[in-house]
Amino acid sequence: MNHLESKIEPRRCNWNTKDPVYLAYHDTEWGRPLHDSKALFEMLCLEGMQAGLSWITILKRRESYRKAFAGFDPKQVSLFSREKQEQLMSNSGIIRNRLKIQAIIVNAKGYLEIEKEKSFSDYIWSFTEGNPIIHHYKAHDHIPAFTEESVKMSKDLKKRGFKFVGQTICYAFMQAVGMVNDHETDCFCYEPISRLSGKY
């Protein structure tokens, strides 16, 4: 055996790449229950920005998005002017898609309206009755593109004026923020995340 021990990589979900940014996201964020309203708003916006693109494209621009959109502070974003939108269209750190930029501003206004009724976190988690749904998928190709819950979320968000919140985007969001545990069952993250829900 070589005197330098080779590091044994843990078993991860098959959708992973070897990109260190992606690996860190999978290992420390994806699928872990998130209840901070502002952080949920940020993730919903970022998932919408992914439409037609790969997630790593957005993930590597996350800090640029945070800077461009005032740390995803809904109050500040909701007040972005046309002039500000034009400035964002020249920002090379984000995806310069006018409809997507406008969607974040529209969604910030929708967020503030929801907060008049209840916290955004309580609203979002109501689609799974406040608890994570633990799935038992052995392979990535067994995981659906959307579910009954994501369809309901999409319809309600659209009714409230949100943009880029289709049923598939909503399901990707639910996976990301731990509303469902869609880590493959032999992924090293599956058991500890399932335990967080108290259902494992």
Task: Report CA dihedral (6, 11, 17, 19) to the nearest 10 degrees.
Answer: -50
Residue 30 forms part of a structural domain: yes
Going by C-beta distance under 8 Å and a sequence separation of 6 or more, which residues neighbour residue 69?
45, 77, 104
Does the annotation place 187 within a ligand binding site? Answer: yes
Residue 13 forms part of a structural domain: no
Q: What are phi and psi of 180, to 5 degrees?
A: -130, 150
Residue 46 forms part of a structural domain: yes
- According to DSSP, the residues that pair with 133 across neighbouring strands are 180
**pTM for the whole thing?**
0.93
- Choosing from 30, 55, 111, 125, which is the catalytic residue? 55
Q: What distance in Å separates the CA atoms of residue 64 and residue 80, rounded to the nearest whole number?
A: 17
Does the annotation place 142 within a ligand binding site? Answer: no
Expressed as residue numbers, the domain containing 99 is 20-196
Q: Is the pLDDT of residue 5 over 50?
A: no
* Active-site residue flag, 63: no
Residue 1 forms part of a structural domain: no
| Exposure string over 96-135, b if 16+ CB within 10 A, otherwise e | eeeebbbbbbbbbbbbeebbeeeebbebbbebbeeebbbb
pLDDT band (50, 70, 90) for residue 6? very low
- Choosing from 47, 65, 111, 184, which is the catalytic residue? 47
Q: Is the pLDDT of residue 170 over 60?
A: yes
* H or E element that contains 133: strand 133-134
Q: What distance in Å separates the CA atoms of residue 166 and residue 92, rounded to the nearest whole number?
A: 26
Residue whose token pair is 């995803």? 72
Does the annotation place 3 within a ligand binding site? Answer: no
Does the annotation place 45 within a ligand binding site? Answer: no
* Active-site residue flag, 125: no
* Active-site residue flag, 47: yes
Q: What is the pLDDT of residues 147-159, one digit of tens each?
A: 999 999 999 999 9
pLDDT band (50, 70, 90) for residue 18? confident
Q: What is the CATH classification number for the domain harbouring 164?
A: 1.10.340.30
Q: What is the pLDDT of residues 118-127, one digit of tens each?
A: 999 999 999 9
Residue 71 forms part of a structural domain: yes
* H or E element that contains 181: strand 180-181
Q: What distance in Å separates the CA atoms of residue 7 and residue 129, rounded to the nearest whole number?
A: 41
Q: Is the pLDDT of residue 25 over 90?
A: yes
Residue 8 forms part of a structural domain: no
Q: What distance in Å separates the CA atoms of residue 50 and residue 72, rounded to the nearest whole number?
A: 16
Q: How many domains does the chain have?
A: 1
- Choosing from 25, 29, 115, 137, which is the catalytic residue? 25
Q: Is the pLDDT of residue 173 over 70?
A: yes
Please give the residue that has the higher pLDDT: either 172 or 15. 172
Do 188 and 31 contact (CB within 8 A), yes or no? no
Q: What is the pLDDT of residues 30-77, one digit of tens each?
A: 999 999 999 999 999 999 999 999 999 999 999 999 999 999 999 999
pLDDT band (50, 70, 90) for residue 199? low
Cα distances (Å, whole numbers) of residue 185 to 8, 88, 143, 157 = 19, 41, 12, 31
Residue 2 forms part of a structural domain: no
Residue 107 forms part of a structural domain: yes
Longest dimension (CA), the chain: 64
